[in-house]
Chains A and B, each alone.
Chain A
Amino acid sequence: MESQPVFRTRGLTKSYDQGEVTVRALRGVDLELYTGELVVLLGASGSGKSTLLNILGGLDLPTSGEVSYGDLDLSVANDRLLTRYRREHVGFVFQFYNLIPSLTALENVAVVTEIAANPMTPEEALRLVGLQDRGLHFPAQLSGGEQQRVAIARAIAKRPAVLLCDEPTGALDSTTGILVLEALESANRETGTTTVIITHNAAIAGMADRVITMSDGSISGERRNTKRQPPTELSW
């Protein structure tokens, strides 16, 4: 499975000035992510995992260190370049779904397919997450789990190089959460998209190829699962 790294970071740090104190969210992170792998980034709240994800996703710039996506140096890119990078290569799944309430499920997916270079059809994306019958429903007519699956369909519809998921089950109960994880797992398997799930829920780690643990702004551990556990077998 291991081939060329998609992402590569070296000595990545990030500090925020919060009033009179400086918060050091990342303290030198070295990391590689490879094509097609499913990585769970595990850590307590405040461990720096979201900061790392934001930098990988082109939402934020590091204070120092290197981060590159293929040949693209993300640590020095400007807003225009980062926007293009997100538009072409990154799929995001958020904790609170962030669907657009005025658009139906299908249209929410189309928001991305309309601006992507080589997208799948919105219908196909919805089928991948098992929601082919809910395409004409508005977010207010869908359950939380369904909304999150629409968000996953939206994220994968552009065939991104990487899928970044920030606490995708954080707002869901465990039964619904597992449905969402199944959608992520099958999307990863069928499209071969590098997938990073960040969570504080250690139970999710079983479904990953690789589990990276973060604490206090740096990587404190890394392990490889010999076999990916199907999400249905997970519980919390």
Chain B
Amino acid sequence: MFLARSVLGTKLRRELWRMRGQVLAIALVIAGGVAVCVMSLVAYSSLNATRELYYQQNQFAEVFAPLKRAPMQSLHRVSEIPGVVRLSARVEAAAKLELPGFTEPVSARVLSVPPSGQPEVNRLFVRQGRLPAPGRNAEAAIVGAFAESHGLLPGDRFSVIINGRKQTLVVTGIVESPEFIYVLPPGGMLPDFKRFGVLWLSQDSLSAAMDMRGAFNSVVVRVQPGYPLASVIHDLDRVLDRYGATGAFSRRDQFSHRFLSDDLDQLKIMATVFPLIFMGVAMFLLHVVISRLVNTQRDIIAVLKAFGYSNRQIAWHYSQLVLAIAAIGLVLGLLAGVWLGGGLGELYMEFYRLPGLLFRLNPAWLALLILITGFVAWLGGWRAIRQAAALPPAEAMRPEGPARFRMAGAERWFSGIRLSQPSRMIIRQMARRPLRALLSMVGIAMATAIVMVGNFQFDSVSLMVQTEFARVQQQDLTATLVEPVNAAALFGLQRQPGIRYAEGRRSVAVRLVNGHRDRRSVLHGMPAGARLQFVVDKDLQAVDLPAEGLLLTDFLASELGVGPGEYLRVEMLEGDRRTLSVPVAGVTSEFLGVGAYMRLPALNRALGEGPVINQILLSVDPARKDEVYQSLREAPGVLGIGIRQAMLDSFYDTLARTFLTFTFFNSLLGAIIAFGVIYNTIRIALAEKGRELASLRVMGYTHNEIAHILFGDMAVLLVFGIVSGWLFGQGLAWMIITAMQTELYRVPLTITAHTLGISATVVFVSATVSGGVAWWRLRHLDLVAVLKTRE
């Protein structure tokens, strides 16, 4: 660089060094924005690329078609469906597991692997060991998350009950599947690696256990790229209809895929919203600092111009200063972002079972980010730079005229109060530069808001989970039955030792259709006067189920475009698969999942069945819970058991840790912004008022008294900034929540006093640190020197 060696280059370097505190404070704010952006982009790109490659290499299905039972011979009709390029027919089953030393119920999903080894579609990634061999009855491969949480290794044994028959399996391998990147128990919302697993058995062995020899009950297909999925789904439903198909669905409705996609979308939001705030603050800081510098260098600019430097050279000189600060921020941000992005990716890997994480950062995005950062920074200094270039040399030689002040309008409002002169100085200083005061306040508000956003998510998700697992679900256990049974079974169950109360429900997989819109969902039939689980609205009040018609989650209603009073087509995906037209009686708000609710008798009537149930909710005596677990495990009619407390614990064990990490980083970022804004504001105030403060010191004002003047307006800005930051944070939180609403969950907006307190504390501590630095500088104010020279 030529300029770096020129005299102006030297001037630039020395000035950067002289202002290093302020330079660093601004660079840190820029770095914060860049880091969040890069972190999110790295995590997004890496996870996305890893998932894409994984899907590609392992032939992840595009369409999934569950059915009751179809003979293998019928498979050729599926392969003839236009658009289908690959398919895999398999047997799926539910199982109950018994693990040595673990008394709680464990359930599992079991899938078959073909005799050839790897399936054509949804191939497995073998982490350790091998797949179960054909003809070997007692072998199973198990999913990695489950293996790790129980410390299972190839060669270990455990018991399993499939289709009511108990057998002992030996672990042959530990595997991952693109179908189970996010391992979720059926109907669950949170992973529970200890109590839910996925097993793969050889096809002959699982077929034998399920009485499915020569048949399959699930087919997964790969579709020719670009071929319309809807058409394949339609054809699959048509071909498999006679085999009890319950409706084919695409990846969009596949849980694991859906969860990861939702998370990736959230990363994208994070990559844009947060950097926007940081860059806004950095622009303001640069503007203030550069303006100040230009004002103090009027005479230097004049001399340079008098010597023949052009406007362009002057503008470039100050632009370089801005760009140098941006470059420092950019480098720091990139390094931190790449590091954090890797860390975030690893954090995601705790929940998402991917074979390994590829590192990806799109160079085009990176280039764009560098350009935007440079441009935004330059824009921040633009007005000051233009002003510097435009100063006529003769005018620039003269010092800037004395600052013009007037009575602040606010003073008239409280003219009754006698203000001390220092207080007047504080008020008028703010009134003279209202924009700067406002921007400082906005900066502080943004810092507060960012800390808030980091904290409220945990509160909100906690509230969501608490509501679901402590308020809505009052049962201790949920037992899902293999087949619907008469509700009279409940009486027998309630007499069993350890069971205090039992309640039955009927859940049916349905497809809800309104015109061209349709959604797969579950229709729950609930007894009148349910005591263990009922539908609640957003205020957590129990909602009465209408005597006739459906109650829909509001999210589902809006997705389907229906409202109360309108009719919805309900296709039952079980039993005789009848289709009904049912009125929507009302909508309700729920945090987790989407559902449709009816009264149990009304649902059974609609299905043309007697008083049957297929889910039992139980309230259990804690002292005898192991007994209950044991009897449910051995009951052949019970498909699986969910423990409410276990889900809650699992949430706090895993997700809470993730959220704490986020909270920490958000607080750190908020603290950086607060420090950047406050430190710069105080330093500039100190530079501007240094002479005044020194005069006051000479006149006999004490150090504390002049500190009051210096920090007084900062304190006012801090108070207003934090309070408006709370409001701003609430708005931001609302925006984030709205942007992150998904079918799986809708996080409620809750901002606790704790969150407000933390955000205020973080900002306040930042202010105290920067104030401390200024305080120290104030002590070393050179009274004589300040008075001798004209500003």
Given contacts A54-B784, A96-B790, A138-B406, contact A112 B699 (CB under 8 A): yes
Cross-chain contact B695 with A102 (CB below 8 angstroms)? no
Nearest Cβ on chain B to A135's Cβ, whole angstroms: 13
Indicate if B409 sits at the interface (CB-CB under 8 A): no
Cross-chain contact B402 with A60 (CB below 8 angstroms)? no
Given contacts A102-B424, A138-B405, contact A88 B700 (CB under 8 A): yes
Given contacts A138-B405, A138-B406, contact A100 B692 (CB under 8 A): yes
Cross-chain contact B421 with A114 (CB below 8 angstroms)? yes
Tell me the complex Cα distance, A87–B264, Å: 65
Indicate if A146 sits at the interface (CB-CB under 8 A): no
Chain B residues near A115: list those with CB within 8 A.
699-701, 705
Tell me the complex Cα distance, A98–B694, Å: 9
Given contacts A94-B695, A103-B425, A107-B421, contact A59 B784 (CB under 8 A): yes
Indicate if A186 sits at the interface (CB-CB under 8 A): no
Nearest Cβ on chain A to B385's Cβ, whole angstroms: 26
Given contacts A94-B787, A100-B692, A107-B424, contact A140 B698 (CB under 8 A): no
Nearest Cβ on chain B to A125's Cβ, whole angstroms: 13
Which chain A residue lies CB-closest to B431?
A102
Cross-chain contact A83 with B405 (CB below 8 angstroms)? no
Cross-chain contact A60 with B784 (CB below 8 angstroms)? yes
Q: Mark A68-87, 1 if CB is under 8 A from B, else 0.
A: 00000000000110011111
Cross-chain contact A102 with B701 (CB below 8 angstroms)? no
Cross-chain contact B424 with A139 (CB below 8 angstroms)? no
Cross-chain contact A98 with B787 (CB below 8 angstroms)? yes
Cross-chain contact A111 with B699 (CB below 8 angstroms)? yes
A-side interface size class: 35 or more
Q: Mark A87-119, 1 if CB is under 8 A from B, else 0.
A: 110101010101011110001101110110000
Tell me the complex Cα distance, A96–B700, Å: 18
Indicate if B86 sits at the interface (CB-CB under 8 A): no
Cross-chain contact B404 with A138 (CB below 8 angstroms)? yes
Cross-chain contact B700 with A102 (CB below 8 angstroms)? no
Indicate if A177 sits at the interface (CB-CB under 8 A): no
Indicate if A43 sits at the interface (CB-CB under 8 A): no
Nearest Cβ on chain A to B775's Cβ, whole angstroms: 15
Tell me the complex Cα distance, A166–B402, Å: 21
Which chain B residue lies CB-closest to A142?
B402
Chain A residues near B702: list those with CB within 8 A.
80, 83, 87
Indicate if A57 sits at the interface (CB-CB under 8 A): yes
Which chain A residue lies CB-closest to B692?
A100
Nearest Cβ on chain A to B203's Cβ, whole angstroms: 87
Indicate if B287 sits at the interface (CB-CB under 8 A): no
Cross-chain contact B404 with A140 (CB below 8 angstroms)? yes
Which of A83, A88, A103, A139 lies in contact with B697, CB distance below 8 A?
A83
Tell me the complex Cα distance, A84–B697, Å: 10
Cross-chain contact A92 with B429 (CB below 8 angstroms)? no
Which secondary structure dominates where chain B touches chain A?
helix
Cross-chain contact A102 with B405 (CB below 8 angstroms)? yes
Chain A residues near B783: list those with CB within 8 A.
59
- Within 112-155 of A, Cβ neighbours of B (below 8 Å) are at 112, 114-115, 138-140, 154
Which of B425, B691, B696, B703 lies in contact with A102, CB distance below 8 A?
B425
- Within 413-435 of B, Cβ neighbours of A (below 8 Å) are at 420-422, 424-425, 428-429, 432
Q: Mark B516-535, 1 if CB is under 8 A from A, else 0.
A: 00000000000000000000
Cross-chain contact A103 with B698 (CB below 8 angstroms)? no
Which chain B residue lies CB-closest to A94?
B787
Which chain A residue lies CB-closest to B694?
A98
Cross-chain contact B403 with A140 (CB below 8 angstroms)? yes
Tell me the complex Cα distance, A86–B784, Å: 14
Cross-chain contact A139 with B402 (CB below 8 angstroms)? yes
Cross-chain contact B424 with A98 (CB below 8 angstroms)? no
Nearest Cβ on chain B to A72's Cβ, whole angstroms: 14
Cross-chain contact A59 with B698 (CB below 8 angstroms)? yes
Chain B residues near A103: list those with CB within 8 A.
405, 421, 424-425, 428
Chain A residues near B694: list those with CB within 8 A.
98
Chain B residues near A139: list those with CB within 8 A.
402
Which of B422, B432, B698, B788 lies in contact with A86, CB distance below 8 A?
B698
Tell me the complex Cα distance, A88–B691, Å: 21
Chain A residues near B700: list those with CB within 8 A.
83-88, 90, 112, 115
Chain B residues near A114: list those with CB within 8 A.
420-421
Which of A86, A94, A96, A102 lies in contact with B428, CB distance below 8 A?
A102
Nearest Cβ on chain A to B703's Cβ, whole angstroms: 8
Chain B residues near A96: list those with CB within 8 A.
787, 790
Q: Mark B698-736, 1 if CB is under 8 A from A, else 0.
A: 111111010000000000000000000000000000000
Chain B residues near A140: list those with CB within 8 A.
401-405
Chain A residues near B425: list those with CB within 8 A.
100, 102-103
Tell me the complex Cα distance, A57–B406, Å: 33
- Within 389-420 of B, Cβ neighbours of A (below 8 Å) are at 401-406, 420
Nearest Cβ on chain A to B312's Cβ, whole angstroms: 34
Chain A residues near B703: list those with CB within 8 A.
79, 83
Which chain B residue lies CB-closest to A100?
B692
Cross-chain contact B698 with A111 (CB below 8 angstroms)? no
Nearest Cβ on chain B to A101's Cβ, whole angstroms: 4
Nearest Cβ on chain A to B647's Cβ, whole angstroms: 62
Chain B residues near A154: list those with CB within 8 A.
699
Which chain A residue lies CB-closest to B695?
A98
Nearest Cβ on chain A to B567's Cβ, whole angstroms: 72
Q: Mark B770-791, 1 if CB is under 8 A from A, else 0.
A: 0000000000000110011010
Cross-chain contact B698 with A102 (CB below 8 angstroms)? no
Chain B residues near A92: list those with CB within 8 A.
698-699
Tell me the complex Cα distance, A112–B695, Å: 11
Q: Mark B248-261, 1 if CB is under 8 A from A, else 0.
A: 00000000000000
Nearest Cβ on chain A to B614's Cβ, whole angstroms: 78
Nearest Cβ on chain A to B197's Cβ, whole angstroms: 72
Tell me the complex Cα distance, A90–B705, Å: 18
Cross-chain contact A100 with B695 (CB below 8 angstroms)? yes
Q: Mark B674-705, 1 if CB is under 8 A from A, else 0.
A: 00000000000000000110111111111101
Tell me the complex Cα distance, A115–B421, Å: 10
Chain A residues near B401: list those with CB within 8 A.
140
Chain A residues near B406: list those with CB within 8 A.
138
Nearest Cβ on chain B to A83's Cβ, whole angstroms: 5
Chain B residues near A108: list those with CB within 8 A.
421
Chain A residues near B701: list those with CB within 8 A.
83, 87, 115
Tell me the complex Cα distance, A87–B702, Å: 9
Give 6 nearest A-B pairs by CB, closest first.
A87-B700, A86-B700, A98-B695, A102-B428, A101-B403, A140-B402
Known: A102-B429, A115-B699, A138-B406. 12 other contacts (CB 8 A): A83-B703, A86-B698, A90-B700, A94-B787, A98-B694, A101-B405, A102-B403, A103-B425, A111-B422, A115-B700, A138-B405, A140-B402
Chain B interface (Cβ within 8 Å of chain A)? 401-406, 420-422, 424-425, 428-429, 432, 691-692, 694-703, 705, 783-784, 787-788, 790
Q: List 20 A-B contacts (CB under 8 A).
A: A57-B698, A59-B698, A83-B702, A87-B700, A94-B787, A96-B787, A98-B692, A98-B695, A98-B787, A100-B421, A101-B403, A101-B404, A102-B424, A102-B432, A115-B700, A138-B406, A140-B402, A140-B403, A166-B787, A171-B790
